[in-house]
Amino acid sequence: MAAEPQRIALRPEYLSLVRAGQKTVEGRLARPAYRAITAWQTLRFHNDADDLDVVVESVTLHATFRDMLQAYGVAAFLPAWEPGDLDGAVELYRGFPGYRDGEGTWGACAIKVVVMR
């Protein structure tokens, strides 16, 4: 019997962008649970209204959110974001609860995914 996919909460607007293939990378604090994710693992993004299974292509660790966003480009994480506004995107990530303080402790984690069809 196959194991249940690891569940990761994702806001509805971001889950919709992943489903549409526009958001291809999910950024998180690089806490142990996210560091342990591996390529080819199945994840289940979910929220109160929806869920979506994805396959991990790669997981990369970065010292900062800025480094993470520069590595893939802001649009991979935030497709609707104003092009060229790296500083604003960094501040968006730092605005999530615990992310500003956690960035110095944990760093950032980029999880590149593909939607399961």
CATH of the domain at 107: 2.30.130.30
Beta bridge partners, 82, equal none
* Strand arrangement of the beta sheet that strand 25-29 belongs to: 6-9, 42-46, 51-62, 108-115, 25-29
* pLDDT tens string 17-72: 999 999 999 999 999 999 999 999 999 999 999 999 999 999 999 999 999 999 99
In the three-class reduction of DSSP (H, G, I as helix; E, B as strand; rest coil), residue 64 is classed as coil
Q: How many residues does the chain have?
A: 117
Mean pLDDT on 109-115: 98
* pLDDT tens string 66-84: 999 999 999 999 999 988 8
Q: Considering only CA atoms, which of 114, 89, 109, 117 is closest in space to residue 37?
A: 109
Mean pLDDT on 72-97: 95
For residue 3, how far is the Cα from the chain centroid? 22
Assigned domain for 62 exists? yes
Average model confidence (pLDDT) across the chain: 95
What's the number of domains the chain is made of?
1
In the three-class reduction of DSSP (H, G, I as helix; E, B as strand; rest coil), residue 81 is classed as coil
What is the pTM assigned to this prediction?
A: 0.94
Q: Is residue 1's pLDDT more than 60?
A: no
* Encoded amino acid at 6, one letter: Q
Assigned domain for 36 exists? yes
Owning domain of residue 14: 6-115
pLDDT of 117 reads 75
Instruction: Specify the higher pLDDT residue, 18 or 116.
Output: 18
